[in-house]
Structure 1
């Protein structure tokens, strides 16, 4: 019944479209009147040319050429009128009627038949319909992650206090490239199931990914909460060290990463990442614990392999890329004083004094009516000047 109604609707729309095209063809045109109108236009043109030539707006030679061209067109139109008058009107009517009928047959029959035949060859007419509601209730394919996620989301709408559902959904969001949704899911899991070092750390990592690698204040608080529950949680320690580096506190970053490296087993897969980070801020690597000592979960193996394979220049380029993304974000959303302070410090770490000064200028223009923000910017400028002066003396 549904398919029959759909077919009838398509047939009706096709008929309406064909009728819209054929309707102008069914209207008779008065050829004689049209030719008379053309001749009237040509007469007006001759009169206008005569007026322009008399007033001097049109040179004599150009006026004569224009008169000749209009006269030629008048003769051609008059000749066509005489030819039409000698033809058999009944024969002309029959020819016109035949052409219109052929056009109607083509539009109403050939086009739909051709479309149906083409669909039968290239389409899948035997494939049953798959509305969204039926796909959600049917058993999904193993690779149809979007359907599975949609089902879990619908389940959580009905039972919003299912913490296990949020905890299952959060890492899936992360793999799907939806870090903001992952962070919200981890927050719901913490609210319902209670805090844990792993949940806080996972939420912080999702926030870092959502901010293009920058450790925001919210992410730093999540990592601090994780370490308060488990002081040996390695992922949180690593990202807090990264936050210190991004803030321009290289000594703090070296201390955090040095302590983390000291308790990281020699065979831990994330040890190369921590060692590379410590070397980047000029810290000395401590001796590694014995191999085989149980370690805490850290960054994924793919992240470790990618970071370990980077050269020093590539790592610097990666850091500059993160700083550039922060600058772009602040251009579109400038009301973020923490972001501006982080950008200024990052430029200071990279040695880009001109960019740091430009960032300070933009930030001051944004917060010109905010005394507290201007004071923090002044302090950041003094800190930058002090570090720059110390570096030049050294």
Structure 2
């Protein structure tokens, strides 16, 4: 809609500007020419003089006057303006197709370039727009190309305007949505440097640092979480991450304290509040993990290697199968590791395969599933890895098919 309105405004502007340049020039008369009306009056005066002097009788005088009238009418009809006494027009006010062509090429181009430099084109894209097209291979490819183009334009603008904190934050979010955690971390670092006292920004930065660190919130990510809570003790994402850090190091009491604090800040009927309540119940031992698994907190299906895969992997290459949240943190909820020789493979992901005690499959309603073949065996994806995706699917779903059929793009660095 934005581009449609912009195009209509450009068309309207060009129509107003070009109309005078393309209008036909009016006829031009010689400034020294005597108007036919004056010649007619002079000749009538001569006929009247001849009549008074007796050199012309009345019948001949009327015949001559009629002849003059016909000649005057003929002169008026031959004039393109239809007015023998029309005022003289400016000889320079005519068609100018060269200037019109120049304006037609320059003005729309200048408008687009100015918007790309001064505007915010990436704001027109939402990461959710890509999801519905993922089911269609061609649509997914086109969407990725468009998104990458917009993000690259933003990155280029920030190289010329490095003090734009909001731009760096948006670039970090865009890279995170594109699953490029290393690039996202660099962009967030610039934003934090420019706006060091924004708690929410530091919480997002910590989440990305965890992805770069293989899913662990220890180290640099923990430092950002602690700084965020020092700035705002009620920052929701920082509280949730702090609880996960506590569970990683086995401090259930501290994790419960953070979750209880967060639960009091959330709307009671929200999905997030339900997940926090489940985490609290598990940490307190009110609902055993086995009981949660028995209620359907798992997803299962089958992974196959597509015959359309861009390359044929070696039998000893590593296969990672993992579930991720549909939104929020990109840290996997559950991970299963096998080898290519095991394919096709039946799999089940549940809380027993969680990477973090505070980040489990049972805390989600829906997840996305991915299977990746890694020649290096690295938990972080590398260019040349093969990948297949499915979802979003509801937790508890079974018979999910994942076909490994595409290549990780060279610019991506995924977990």
Q: Same fold per TM (> 0.5)?
A: no
Give the TM-score, by structure 1 length: 0.38
Structure with the larger RCO, 1 or 2 (CA within 8 Å, 6+ apart): 2
Please state which structure has a larger fraction of its residues in helix.
1
Please state which structure has a larger fraction of its residues in strand.
2
